[in-house]
């Protein structure tokens, strides 16, 4: 069973996030490990505020939605 379409695989290859909805888990984001590590290093390592977490989640989901359509 293939979870990702050709376009989604190409997006992941480019280091882009791809949003999926799995029956077992609900919405998930697929991102190459090196892209994830790059994102982690680029952010302040201090504690995140609720507002920062909410903004990041919204931006990530919006970016993935745009790529899915």
pLDDT digit string, tens, across residues 8-57: 999 999 989 999 988 898 999 999 999 888 888 776 667 888 898 899 88
Q: What is the pTM of this model?
A: 0.54
Is residue 63 left, alpha or beta, with left meaning phi > 0 and alpha meaning psi from -120 to 50? alpha
Among the residues of the chain, which ranges form H helices?
6-13, 33-42, 50-68
pLDDT at position 61: 84
Distance separating alpha carbons of residues 68 and 63, to the nearest angstrom: 9
pLDDT at position 38: 84
Q: Check pLDDT > 70 for residue 67.
A: yes
């Amino acid at each position: 069973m293939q979870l990702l379409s050709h376009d989604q695989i190409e997006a992941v290859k480019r280091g882009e996030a791809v949003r999926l909805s799995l029956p077992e888990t609900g919405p998930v984001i697929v991102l190459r490990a090196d892209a994830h590590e790059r994102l982690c290093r680029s952010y302040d390592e201090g504690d995140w505020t609720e507002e920062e977490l909410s903004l990041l989640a919204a931006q990530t989901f919006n970016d993935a939605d745009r790529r899915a359509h």
